[in-house]
Amino acid sequence: MPQLSRRAFASGLPLGLIGGSLVGSGLIGSGLAPALSATPGVAAAPAAPVSVTPLAQIRIGRFTVTALTDGYADMPYSYFPGRTPAEVEQAAVAQFTARPSGVRFLFNQYLVEDGERRILIDAGPAGSIGQTGALPQALAAIGLQRDQIDAVVVTHMHQDHMGGLIIGGQNNYPNAELYIDRRDVIYWTDPAKRSGAPDYLQTSFRMAGEVVRLYPKLQAIDGEREIARGISIVDLTGHTPGHIGVRIEDGGLSLIMVSDMIFPVVHPGATDVGFLFEQDRAAAQAMRERFFPRAASEGALIAATHMPFPGLGRVVADRGQMCWQVADWALQT
Ligand SMILES: [Zn+2]
């Protein structure tokens, strides 16, 4: 893994240089009601899906990065190997984020625009998990149709990151180049791997086959490289064989989208707790052990798929304990 940013954090630029603005009014009000739960630390299930479309934008030099979300799902406390369900629930209660059925995972996507191209990072589960399928609505809210997306980077071939590539058996982004790490393309299209995999991974295997068939403009990524000026692939192998991140860098500022390096409640405080969908737990843990201290020492601004929307923050070391520090992204000047 390389240095997360080449200039910005090494030179200690203040956080306030990250400009930001709230787009639309959708953020206000979302998520407030559950805080009124009658049970301390446990939020009540909402009566109906949130109808607003949350959007958040920041500027990274000449880039506009818009955080979008396809929705959410609550992951059972038993999905975190390395800790007992009771331990995970206790941690969630302590953080006032416990839900009746588990840990709430957002499914955030990030749109990167440089004035010429529109590059989407991940496509969401698109209804295949939990309360999801909102990404098209989120794009429409900023005036974009799916055929205006020039490229999609899929950070790995789990269904919650690529489901939205296919709608009704069709290519959902007809003009998009598609970037996926070759190790994941090989793994998730291997019949032997599929036949030996548990049921909960079968959807990802099926989707991977469809994606490869429906996207002739798929470019398999081999190692770290720039895919557009200022937009680079970062190798974060572990969660899956070809798990990658995306670094956006310009004008001394940078943001790294790290996908599934960090899960809510359990990370970054521990590296030895994983997630059910990781087949190679040792590899996933090894990457966390490398990544969390590096991210903390560089003060890297991070975007993470499953953290609370908009998923922007930093890993910070507080008296030896790794913590997630939400980025002060809004209304910056
Ligand atoms: Zn994921």
Q: What is the mean pLDDT of the chain?
A: 87
Half-sphere exposure of 313 (CA within 13 A, CB side): 23
CA of 267 to the centre of ligand 1 (A): 14
**For position 50, what pLDDT does the model report?**
52
pLDDT at 25 over 50: no
**For position 297, what pLDDT does the model report?**
95
CA of 12 to the centre of ligand 1 (A): 31
**For position 154, what pLDDT does the model report?**
98
Q: How confident is the model at residue 29 (pLDDT cuts 50, 70, 90)?
A: very low
CA of 70 to the centre of ligand 1 (A): 12
Q: What are 205-211's contacts with CB under 8 Å, separation 24+? A: 207/128, 207/157, 207/159, 207/162, 207/163, 207/165, 207/166, 208/157, 208/162, 208/184, 210/166, 210/169, 211/154, 211/157, 211/162, 211/165, 211/166, 211/178, 211/180
CA of 160 to the centre of ligand 1 (A): 6
CA of 14 to the centre of ligand 1 (A): 30
Q: How confident is the model at residue 333 (pLDDT cuts 50, 70, 90)?
A: low
**For position 16, what pLDDT does the model report?**
26
Contact 141, 217 (CB under 8 A): no
CA of 55 to the centre of ligand 1 (A): 19
Query: How would you class 216 by CB atoms within 10 Å of its CB: exposed for 0-12, middle for 13-18, buried for 19 or more?
Result: exposed
**For position 54, what pLDDT does the model report?**
86
Domains and CATH numbers, the chain: 15-26+52-326 (3.60.15.10)
What is the β-pairing status of strands 19-21 and 231-235? unpaired
**Which comes out higher in pLDDT, residue 188 or 21?**
188
Q: What is the pLDDT of residues 254-289, one digit of tens each?
A: 999 999 999 999 999 999 999 999 989 999 999 999
Phi, then psi, of 111 in degrees rounded to 5: -100, 125
Phi, then psi, of 25 in degrees rounded to 5: -115, 10
pTM (two decimals): 0.85
154: nearest Cα among 165, 143, 145, 144 = 165
Cα separation, 66 vs 58, whole angstroms:
7
**Which comes out higher in pLDDT, residue 41 or 233?**
233
139: nearest Cα among 109, 107, 163 = 109
**For position 36, what pLDDT does the model report?**
34
CA of 306 to the centre of ligand 1 (A): 7
pLDDT at 73 over 70: yes
Give Cβ neighbours of residue 281 (< 8 Å, ≥ 6 apart): 81, 82, 274
Read off the amino acid at residue 38: A
**For position 330, what pLDDT does the model report?**
85
CA of 133 to the centre of ligand 1 (A): 15
Q: What is the pLDDT of residues 127-143, one digit of tens each?
A: 999 999 999 999 999 99
Cα separation, 226 vs 206, whole angstroms:
29
**For position 32, what pLDDT does the model report?**
32
Percent of the chain with pLDDT over 70: 84
Q: How confident is the model at residue 26 (pLDDT cuts 50, 70, 90)?
A: very low
CA of 333 to the centre of ligand 1 (A): 32
Contact 305, 106 (CB under 8 A): yes
**For position 286, what pLDDT does the model report?**
98
CA of 30 to the centre of ligand 1 (A): 22
CA of 206 to the centre of ligand 1 (A): 17
CA of 262 to the centre of ligand 1 (A): 9
CA of 197 to the centre of ligand 1 (A): 17
